[in-house]
Structure 1
Amino acid sequence: MERPEPRESKWRNDHVFVIRRIVVMAIIVIILAAAIVSTITSGHAVEAARTMQQSQIDQPRNSTNGNAASNDRDTSNTADSSSKSASTTNSQSNVSSDSKKPSDNNSNDTNTDPKAADIEKTLAADKTAQPLTDAQKSAIFERAKQTAQTATAASGTGSPVTYTYCLQTKGNVGNATAFANAVYATLNDPQGWPRAGAIFEQMPEDACASADMAIILSEAQYLPTFSSYCSVQYSCRVGQEVIVNDDRWNGAVDAWLDAGGTLSRYRQMVINHEVGHRLGHIDNETTCAGAGQRAPLMQEQSMHLDGCVPNEWPLDNELWIG
């Protein structure tokens, strides 16, 4: 007959079994909890990684676009921005090359402005001007004398009148060689006052006191020192002194140039006009006869053309000397 198990031993065995089950269940719970925590942590890590990656992608855009207006204009990604940058660089390079083409050059460069180019050319020639030789002066004077003799014979007014002049400068006007050459050649040009019977002879400096007139190239600021009627803007004549404004000598006036004149022609006009005063003529004694016609020499062409075209020589009705 089998011996029954003691009650105490049975209780102990049941108690151990229960404890074991509790421990097993606790371990399972711990494992499950650990798995859940691991899953949640992993999810946060992935999300954080995605957020950081997105931030790195967006950051170049935000740093490039400084304000809302820029952001509205720039919706491209980084690759597109690089492409556009390269395209812009190439475009700028093409514009730089194309801008050298005459058809695309809208600047006020002196090479494309006829007035400025003419002035630049004339002033450059001034710097290399050499004094007229005696032979050159003699040839010019002989042509003037022949013209004057023909004119006076035709009009029956007698023989040509010789006017003597002396050259002077006042202020900082630079080298006056070109001025001296222009005065001599202009006054003795067959198109000018020789047609009225006048010829002109330059006197040496030591004989200036006996000359009929002094022709002076003056810095603009000194014009009023000759007379209160003289302006820093224009040339002037005071008694025996014919004063040419250096600013006008080097730049003429825009309206005269715009009307088709050149700086060289303006210089001839100023010389003939101011010497014309010394010969007895007054300003505007004859005015423009009609649009497109030559302006009278004694009209104040520096101030107004009145529809006429620039003219540096006396008209037929101005061919007289007082």
Structure 2
Amino acid sequence: MAVSLGAGVALAHFRSEGGLGDTAAPAPVSEAPPSPEPTTASPTPTRKATPKPKPTPKPKPKPTATKKKPATVPQSGPGTFTTATASGKVSGTSGTLRRYRVQIEQGVDLSARGTAEEIEAILAHPRSWAAHGRGRFQLVASNADFVIRIATPDTADALCARQGFNTHGELNCETADGVVVNLKRWMLGSPTFAGPPEEYRHLIINHEVGHEIGIRQHMGCGGPGKPAPAMMQQIKGLNGCRSNAFPYDEDGLYITGPIVS
């Protein structure tokens, strides 16, 4: 941007010899003309360069968040399973010890070992069964008391149908030898659950293992605005409750409701 400087330059002042009139008196011819007194002009002030303003840096564009693609869930699989070769410590300090193994249907994009470790952490959670004396649990690779299988919707339907359950390609179930988890629910969660799929997995395991430890009946909502019991079939509707994945609240109180089935 051009900047206009308003500095003026002072004019030189001169002294005149002679009178005060408009014309100076002539000097005698024989005399040398007097030397005029040296006149000193006022120095011209140095113009200081005005620094140009620094350009305002343009804001860097914010990186565009990459949307996470939803997981792809195959509808069916071969019906054969890979057993996780993993074992863990006993969680819980009282109650019957129940050893379990984890199986993943072959062809499914899940790590058998990683999934087994996730389930182990779910059962050892401080708001789950083991932390409140409702049993002890241990992940094993063989000689298990029950099995937790994660299967494609079609395979889950077939396994559950053997026990008389119609799971419609959507639901999980408990069978004579353990728990069947629908891969769709494991990967995508539930439309009625407010949290992410990772939290919904707590509800799946807590609900089905709840049946394993002897809680045979389902519960309903305990009241508007209250957390839904883990033994409630929350995917079928909350009926005024808030979705919840744990059997116990943060104060260690069991979350319950009326028996409905």
TM range (shorter): 0.5 to 0.7
Deviation at residue 133 of structure 1 after TM alignment? 9.1
| Partner of residue 236, structure 2 | 303
The 5 Å alignment of 1:219-238 reads: 219-228=152-161, 229-231=165-167, 232-238=169-175
Match of 2:203 among 269, 278, 300: 269
Q: Distance in 2 between matches of 1:216 and 1:133?
A: 15
> Of Structure 1 and Structure 2, which has the larger fraction of its residues in helix?
1
Question: 2:120 pairs with 176, 180, 184, which one?
Answer: 184
TM-aligned CA deviation for residue 317 of structure 1: 4.2
Stretch of structure 1 that moved more, 242-251 or 227-236 = 227-236
Whole-angstrom CA distance in 2 between matches of 1:227 and 1:160: 28
Instruction: Indicate the RMSD between aligned Cα atoms, in angstroms.
Output: 3.0
Q: In 1, Cα distance between the equivalents of 2:207 and 2:146? A: 14
Cα displacement string for residues 203-238 of structure 1 (whole angstroms, at most 9, x for unaligned residues) = 22xx34xx2111111111101221321422111111
What TM-score do you get using the length of structure 1 for normalisation?
Answer: 0.48
Q: Given that residues 192 and 243 in structure 2 are in contact (C-alpha distance below 8 angstroms), is that contact kept between their aligned partners in structure 1?
A: no
The 8 Å contact of residues 228 and 255 in structure 2, kept in 1 or not, is answered as no
- Relative distance call for 1:184 and 1:304 in structure 2 (3 A) is same
Aligned amino acid, residue 189 of structure 2:
A
Query: Offset at 1:311?
Result: 1.1
Aligned pairs, number:
174
Q: Identity percentage over the alignment?
A: 26
Which residue pairs with 1:42 in the alignment? none
Equivalent residue of 2:234, what SS?
Answer: coil
**Distance in 2 separating the partners of 1:178 and 1:247:** 18
Deviations 1:110-169 (A, max 9, x none): 74xxxx68x67xxxxxxxxxx9998xx54xx4xx43xx4xxxxxxxxxx43211111112
State which of 160, 175, 184 in structure 2 corresponds to 1:247. 184
2:226 corresponds in structure 1 to: 293
- Counterparts of residues 52-131 of structure 1 (less than 5 Å): 111=67
- Confirm or deny that 1:216 pairs with 2:149: yes
Bigger Cα Rg: 1
Q: Distance in 2 between matches of 1:290 and 1:183?
A: 30
Counterpart amino acid of residue 115 in structure 2 = F
SS at match of 2:156: helix
Q: SS in structure 1 opposite 2:235?
A: coil
Alignment-mate amino acid for residue 220 of structure 1: P
Structure scoring higher RCO (CA < 8 A, sep ≥ 6) equals 2
Gapped regions of structure 1 (runs ≥ 5): 1-99, 121-130, 149-158
Q: Secondary structure at the match of 1:167?
A: strand
Normalised to the residue count of structure 2, the TM-score between the two structures is 0.58
Residue identity in the other structure for 2:223? G
* CA distance in structure 2 between the partners assigned to 1:160 and 1:313 by the alignment: 19
Q: Which residue of 2 aligns with 1:160?
A: 95
Contact 1:234–1:245 (Cα < 8 Å) also in 2: yes
Partner of 2:187, secondary structure, is helix
